[in-house]
Amino acid sequence: MKRQSGITLIGFVIVLILAAFFIYTGMKLVPAYMDFFNVSKALNTVATQSTSGNMSVEEVQRQLDTQQLSQYFADEDIQAKNISVVSTPNGGTSLKLAYDKKIPWIYNIDFLVHFQKSVPMKLQQAQE
């Protein structure tokens, strides 16, 4: 008697359901992470281009708005209140970004993702 090997129809449907679950979840989460990586890149650019360590949050926000146009991130969750300029223990300053993003998933189930990034500001020496 010959035994067949392979996947049954029920097994195939289960594998298909699991694959669809992970693909759908990825489609919901990947854009939020891509926005965060673009914001991180813009934050690094602003911190590198800063000429003084005592920038106001408004100046940082203005520079990030400029970067937003060139980096193509469009996340309404990132606002001026999410950006702060903090002093570090070694006497320098850094830009800190922290925000939460609520991503609807299925019916009344949402993902709540917390993003946080801190970038030290590079001080340029004055040329004499």
Sketch the domain layout of the chain as residue ranges.
31-120
Chain centroid to Cα 118, Å, comes to 12
pLDDT value for 28: 93
Token pair recorded at residue 33: 């992470």
Q: How far apart are CA 117 and CA 74, in angstroms?
A: 17
Instruction: Write the DSSP symbol of residue 90.
Output: T
pLDDT value for 21: 94
**Range list of β-strands (E), 1-128:** 83-87, 93-106, 109-120
Q: Listing from the earlier edge strand, what are the strands of the sheet with 83-87?
A: 83-87, 93-106, 109-120
Q: Give the predicted TM-score (pTM) of the model.
A: 0.70
For the chain, give the mean pLDDT.
79
